[in-house]
Chain A
Amino acid sequence: MTTSLIGQPLPRVDGHAKVTGSARYAADFNQKGQAYAVIVSATVGLGRISRIDSAEVEDMPGIIAVITHRNAPRLPYGPHKSYIDPATGERLHMLQDDRVRFHGQPVAVVVADALDRAERGAAALRISYEAEQPVVDPSQAEPIIPEAAAQPGAMIPADKARGDADEALARARVTVDATYEIARENHNPMEPHATIAAWTGERLTLWSKSQFVVNEQAETAAIFGIPPEHVQVICPFIGGAFGTSLRTWPHVTLAAIAARQVGRPVKLVLTRKQMFFTTGHRPRSLQRVALGSAADGKLAAIVHEGSGETSRYEEFIEALTQPSTYLYSCQNVRTRYRLRPLDIGTPNHMRGPGEASGVFALECAMDELSYAVGIDPIELRRRNEPAIDEGVNKPFSSRSLMKCYDEAAARFGWSRRDPRPRSMRDGRLLIGMGAASATYPAFQAPSSARVRLLADGIAEVEVAASDMGPGTYTSMTQIAAEMLGLPVDQVRFRLGRSDYPPAPSHGGSWTMASVGSAIRAACIAVREDAARRAIADQRSRVFGASPEEVEWAEGRLRRRGDAVAGQPYREIVASAGAPIEAGASAQRDPEVAGRYSMHAFGAVLAEVAVDPDVGTIRVRRAVGAYGIGRVVNPRLARSQCTGGMIGGIGMALMERTVLDPRDGRPVNAHMADYLVPVNLDIPALEAHFVDEMDPHVNPLGVKGLGEIALIGMAPAIANAVFHATGKRVRTLPIRIEDVLTA
């Protein structure tokens, strides 16, 4: 096997489709005779629907149906839970009762022959509610122990301790003890959620935005009580998602209900405002981090207590406090994780779920400690670099944190930093430089794949995976091409159909590890099959060779060391008389998984400029260095990485969904009011990958990149803001008013 393709910075194989507008996203699959559905969202934050006057709307021009809990079909809603659903609680059931659990919950759907008519009908539908007072402020909710986190051996434990952190903290020479708050954030991908549903008899096709098509298939089948094979989910392109399309949200069911009710295909697209209601969000979090250290900065105690909001009907948990158990060496560590149930929709994973929020608190606290002990922030981390994962007492499969700091510091020019707060200026502007670590687990989930060699020399590869932007199409094509010894333009990689071999959800930075490993396995399987045939074929140039002495290269099977001769694929397939197909699955070896702690690490350095007069904060430059194992396509990886850093800029300085405490409505549910970075906000960003060979994580040696790219940015910026202004802001996003009086 050559290594010519993996590691190459190839341009995107789907680039042409995306720059010509021919890449089709869910709402682009217009169907003949389709009707348009528009959701009516509850305008109260809690209560019951007491009356719906639908007759008036039904008489309006073009209206085909007004579907409410009064006339909607009673659906089986069979049991269904995937690992991306909260373990505790039950998903919302659509139009099955009169209850309103949170502001914006769907309460009706209006279907018309044209979009403007459906929108008018939805706006006109008169609904009366008996409204009650919702509670949407986490500080007013009693923390509870999440049921799933209380189980012995839970992946995300509610309470975890080693040593006696509180006692060590009390005795520590130097301490910092602070609380941090992070706002609710919405994913706000550019593509709104959309589903086009069409029934043919008892079979349902969904062109639907999904990061997990096989789960959407299974869940929809369970909801409607039909066999999963009667549901087909199609999603070749995703217009960004960042976690919001992991779960199957209510609109998918509503589109299917509507299509069945009106007997024609129905297109349902959420409005931007509705994107703030029922499609998950990064939960608002409250955290306390207390650190104790000796005078030399060696950590003696870490206490990390955090809570996140959840809904009243599901317990969404994330690894908020987990990083504090392994990021640094410390004998006494105590973490506590709680939930605060509120009258809101269930949160869900948003890029870097858990870790992004938890690392923010820990890394700001580390920065505070660096000033308290008078040690450079990077040096402080060096002094607390652990030899093993002390949380689980296992070696790291690989860990390059300090290598990342060295690389980032050199490229950033960290040595030019004057450590004193408010000491650096550029003209009028206050300049600050901040550092933070990033970490995220290197997951791998079971996946399968199918490879088919065709007579024209093309290899088709199929997996029910997704590509929300990182470049799955391209990187998987590279892996298959390399494994099969083919040029990339002879590999056709297809994804985004639920009838392809199942893949895990497209999230958690595990697509490369999971799907890539499955494709690798399927390629090996198809090679073996083809080799068997060629070796047995008397007409073949490798007839009679032993399987060990053949190799795959340049589109042919040949004897090792024989550079010219060999049997081309197309001839092997031609002899077979039909395409040669093989499927395979891959998952992490549980024995290896039990031996190592597997995480990616990174270091982020950021420079900000703060206007001392009017308080504006701009990131001027940032350098991130990451140890993520093998990089399959550095060009795409770098782009994905700087994109994540930009997400971190949003988290640090802009993003916040504000709920009105009186009725739970998101007040800024608008793209002009929920701020995300625009082009002018983005400075020079550099992402670098340190050399890291990790033989343990998976055969490809990849750790994943999507989450970690965002994780360290917000604390690096917050720490830079402190360095610039001397004011410690522990609330995200950091806004002008926070530094105005610094």
Chain B
Amino acid sequence: MLPFRIEKVSTEQDAIQAALAGGRYIAGGTTLVDLMREEVERPKRLIDINALPLDDIRAEGSDLIIGALARMADVAAHPDVLRLQPLIAESLIEGASPQLRNMASIGGNLLQRVRCPYFRMLDAPCNKRTPGSGCAAIDGLNAGHAILGTSDHCVATHPSDLAVALVALGATVRVRGPQGGRSFPVEQLYRLPGDTPHLEHTLQPGELIVDVNVPGGAHSRRARYLKVRDRASYEFALVSTAAALEIEDGVIRQVRLAAGGVGTRPWRLRASEDALIGKARDRQAFEAAAQLALEGARPLSGNHYKLELLPRTIVRALEMAVEAA
């Protein structure tokens, strides 16, 4: 780990000023400390933002507001979350471990770095870590990598389960920066790698995530998160799907779908959603819609199976959502 300084801040203004001066925000630190130890991350200044009053979780009507500093465990157990958006709680407890969920913040969860093993290895090429050095995964071991949104320069998947749920639910993120605040859909927080894979998100210098707003709806009660993996817990997803449904008289009125483990960012499945609106809630409709998720998919040498697994996961998640209500 490289030497650095830590400073504690107690106001958002101080935090933003410190970040503009070159500091990195740290809250739970479960991603950052891990990568600093590998020297993949090399901040010189850490801004400890844990004292900021951003850990509130509350309902505003049918909207759910989750402070950026709320811990994963607290969000997952919060009565308003369980009441309004059980999908979020499910996506949270399927991620990490109980100990990590006691540490990791919602903001940090959304800004997790990728799990590509080559990204973690300083002695391997990685365009995300060292722009221009090449991508070791494209011609290497890539069973866990993305099939959607990839480029010739990066194929790493975004690892957050929560982000998949939030993208499905159309949540917005509120940030504050030197020029004031702004809000935008969580989906727009993430960039595709293109030829600039070192740019992962759309935050401006100094910008701080303040909270996440999840709009409620009839679909929120009939929502499930399915995470497919080789062991039963404590593993990143091979493929995951967040599915939320509004069904009236057996007909799908509204549907929200997003997938994890397959895209270079949390992947909203709009084509599949569109195909389901107005359809009967049966397996044939689910299967037909799920196939549309593969549009533009580009498998790598090691992950062809995701072409098979993704649609199956979508179908199963939809079935689970139907059973949920």
Contacts and interface: CB of A to CB of B under 8 A. Distances in A.
Contacts of B191: none
A395 to B, nearest CB: 44
B186 to A, nearest CB: 25
Given A672-B236, A737-B305, A740-B309, A665 B124 contact: yes
B16 to A, nearest CB: 30
A667 B1 contact: no
A670 interface: yes
A614 B141 contact: no
A362 to B, nearest CB: 26
Contacts of B233: 678-681
Interface in A723-742: 733, 735-737, 740-741
B86 to A, nearest CB: 20
Nearest to A733: B230
A614 B231 contact: no
Interface in A575-628: 611, 613-616, 618
B240 to A, nearest CB: 10
A43 B123 contact: yes
B203 to A, nearest CB: 26
B305 A681 contact: no
A276 to B, nearest CB: 12
B140 interface: yes
Contacts of B312: 613-615, 740
Contacts of A120: 1-3
A116 B117 CA distance: 23
A675 B23 CA distance: 36
Contact of B117 (A43, A670, A736, A740): A670
Contacts of B141: 658, 660, 667-668
B308 A740 contact: yes
A18 interface: no
A171 interface: no
Given A613-B312, A658-B141, A662-B140, A736 B230 contact: yes
Contacts, number: 83
Nearest to A662: B140
B120 A670 contact: yes
A658 B122 CA distance: 18
Contacts of B3: 120
Contacts of B315: 613
A667 B232 CA distance: 22
Nearest to B304: A737
B155 interface: no
Contacts of A611: 316
Interface residues of B, number: 36
B235 A672 contact: yes
B121 interface: yes
A737 B309 contact: yes
B234 interface: yes
Residue among A613, A665, A681, A733 with max Cβ neighbours from chain B (10 Å)? A613
A668 B117 contact: yes
A123 B308 CA distance: 41
Contacts of A679: 233
A204 interface: no
Contacts of B282: none
Contacts of B140: 660, 662, 667
Interface string B223-267: 000101111111110110000000000000000000000000000
Nearest to A677: B231
Interface string B84-116: 000000000000000000000000000000010
B39 interface: yes
A119 interface: yes
Interface in A627-684: 653-654, 658, 660, 662, 665, 667-668, 670, 672-673, 675, 677-681
Contacts of A653: 230-231
A667 B117 contact: yes
Residue among B139, B239, B309 with max Cβ neighbours from chain A (10 Å)? B309
Contact of A681 (B37, B122, B226, B231): B231
B272 interface: no
Given A614-B316, A615-B309, A616-B228, A736 B238 contact: yes
A668 B235 CA distance: 13
Interface string A34-46: 0000000001000
A737 B144 CA distance: 12
Interface string A674-708: 01011111000000000000000000000000000
Interface string B117-132: 1101111100000000
Interface string A227-245: 0000000000000000000
B115 to A, nearest CB: 8
Given A120-B2, A740-B308, A680 B235 contact: no
A735 B123 contact: no
B306 to A, nearest CB: 9
Contacts of A654: 230-231
Nearest to A617: B230
B286 to A, nearest CB: 11
B313 interface: yes
A731 to B, nearest CB: 14
A658 B117 CA distance: 11
Given A116-B1, A614-B313, A736-B305, A680 B117 contact: no
A120 B305 CA distance: 40
Contacts of A615: 228, 309, 312
Interface string B6-17: 000000000000
B230 A735 contact: yes
Given A662-B140, A737-B305, A741-B308, A678 B232 contact: yes
A100 to B, nearest CB: 13
B121 A736 contact: no
A1 B118 CA distance: 63
Interface string B301-325: 0000100110011011000000000
Contacts of B229: 616
B316 A613 contact: yes
Contacts of A123: 39, 122
A103 B117 CA distance: 16
The 9 closest A-B pairs by CB, nearest first: A737-B305, A43-B123, A680-B232, A680-B233, A613-B316, A667-B141, A614-B228, A681-B232, A667-B117
8 contacts: A43-B123, A614-B239, A616-B228, A660-B136, A667-B140, A668-B117, A672-B234, A735-B230
Interface of A: 43, 116, 119-120, 123, 611, 613-616, 618, 653-654, 658, 660, 662, 665, 667-668, 670, 672-673, 675, 677-681, 733, 735-737, 740-741
Interface of B: 1-3, 37, 39, 115, 117-118, 120-124, 136, 139-141, 226, 228-236, 238-239, 305, 308-309, 312-313, 315-316
Given A613-B312, A672-B234, A740-B305, 16 more contacts: A119-B37, A613-B315, A613-B316, A615-B228, A615-B309, A660-B141, A662-B140, A670-B117, A670-B120, A675-B235, A678-B234, A681-B233, A736-B309, A737-B305, A740-B309, A740-B312
